[in-house]
Each structure stands twice: as structure tokens, then as C-alpha cells.
Amino acid sequence: MGSPLRVALVDIARTVALLAMVVFHFTYDLELFGFAERGTMMRTEWVLFAQGIAGSFIFLSGISLVLASQNGPIARSAYLKRLSMIGIAAAAVTAGTYVAMGSAFVRFGILHLLFSASVLGLLALYRPFWITGFIGAAIVALPHMSNWPLLNDAAWLWLGKTIAPQPAMVDYVPILPWFGVFLLGMSLAQFIANLGRWSSIASLLDPSAPLVRVFSWPGKHSLSIYLIHQPVLFGLVYLAKIATN
């Protein structure tokens, strides 16, 4: 079993997504504590910004799944360890937001999606890129079809929107359409692999160069940063609120 192919450009792209996420959550906290105008995060530009951030992480995760198989079969123990970490983190987010947010807790957020996609994506790992891309595009398009939604019970929220009233949630990233974004990331990575270009892309940046190491580091530790950054930001803004009262 081989180790995953590490591509600095992908790590740096993930770092950029993390920075965008920090900006979003910091602004969310500012609104929550009254430093920003109420309704700020409901504006179209912020909603699109949030969707872009989520889409970036999911797309890059699809690419990473393919990269994990470029130096030979996926290292099973390492893969299962990371999958377990994502699953535990998703459960922790659900429990934590239930305590903090009550009925607006995260029922199926981005970590839940990444856990599910990391399992379902294995079915497409060795398929032709065009099949993966076609299925991904179809899943992305499905919620926009005129006869959607088809489901009428809130228990199906994890799959996608339902006819049943949707509860307020601080994060909601269902299988449909977001697993499609994951598959599109896989499809792109498979296409590049078919061209035999991943090694040349990996060599574009020297991973040992100081600046590359600095900008790659957050992307290599994205799960830890995801879990830690919001409690830290929340606490800082809370302390600022106390200080100004």
C-alpha cells in the first residue's frame, strides 16, 4: 500500500478555503454579539460566500481521495483512522451545537457530508473520469429539477431537502447536491491522472521551500483547524463584548 501523493497546490488551495471560513465565522460571531448589523449573514453575498467555502472543501476532498490512490492502493489503516476522526468530529459538532444552539443544532453538516462522501466515493475511485463526472453533475442538478423535492419526512434531511418543514440549522450540507461536488472533484483528479500529469503538478512547487511550507501547513491540518478555530473566535468576540459593556 502506498502513501498518498502530496500536492502542495492542493494543500495551499485548502489553506485559502480555511482562511475564507475564518472570515465567515468571525463575521458570524460579530453579528451574534452585536458588533455587526443583524441580518448580515442572511444577505445573498454571504450565503453565496458560505456555499463557495463549503463547495471548495468538498471539491478538494474529492481530489484528495483520488490522490490517496496514486502511489498504490489506499493505506487502509491510515484511511480508516482519518475516517474515524471525521466521524467523531461530526458527532462532536452535533452534540456541541445541540448544547449551544438548541433546536438549531447541526443535524447533517459539512463533516457529516465529508464522512459519507469519503465512504461513497470509494465506489467511484476506479471508474472512468467521465462516469464519475456525469454522476456528479447529475447529483448536483437533481435538487434543481422541477419535481424536487420528492421526500415528505424530516428524517430524510440528511439526503436532501424534503417537503416537510425544514428546521433552522446553523449548518446544513446534505448528500444532494453536495456529494455531486465531491464526485466532480474526483472526476477532475481522475482526468489529470489519466493524462499522467499529477507528478508534474506536484513538482510545480518545492514542498521544502519555506513559503510553500508555511502556506501548505494549514491545509495539511484542516480538520484540526476546522474544529478549533470557531471556539477560539467565539471566545475572543465574547470577551470583546464583555470588555465593551
Indicate whether 3 belongs to any domain.
no
The torsion angles phi and psi of 222, rounded to 5 degrees, stand at: -65, -35
Of 173, 205, 207, which is closest to residue 57 (Cα–Cα)? 173
Q: Does 169 have pLDDT greater than 90?
A: no
Q: What is the pTM of this model?
A: 0.92
More confident of the two residues 165 and 139: 139
Indicate whether 60 belongs to any domain.
yes
Indicate whether 2 belongs to any domain.
no
Q: Is there a contact between 182 and 121 (Cβ–Cβ < 8 Å)?
A: yes
Mean pLDDT value of segment 57-69:
95
Indicate whether 202 belongs to any domain.
yes
Split at pLDDT 50, 70, 90, the class of 67 is: very high
Indicate whether 13 belongs to any domain.
yes
Q: Determine the structural domain holding residue 184 and report its residue range.
A: 8-244
Crossing angle for the helix pair 8-32 and 222-244, to the nearest 10 degrees: 30
Q: Is there a contact between 122 and 113 (Cβ–Cβ < 8 Å)?
A: no
* Window from 54-68, 69-83, 150-164, 176-190 with minimum mean pLDDT: 150-164
Q: What's the CA gap between 120 and 111, in Å, rounded?
A: 14
Q: Does 80 have pLDDT greater than 80?
A: yes
Q: What's the CA gap between 217 and 1, in Å, rounded?
A: 25
Q: How far from 3 is each of 38, 68, 110, 174, 201, CA to CA, in Å?
A: 48, 7, 26, 30, 17
Indicate whether 126 belongs to any domain.
yes
Indicate whether 163 belongs to any domain.
yes
Indicate whether 1 belongs to any domain.
no
The per-residue pLDDT for range 194-234, each reduced to its tens digit, is 999 998 999 899 988 999 999 999 999 999 999 899 889 98
Split at pLDDT 50, 70, 90, the class of 140 is: very high
Domain total in the chain = 1
Element (H, E) at 81: helix 76-101
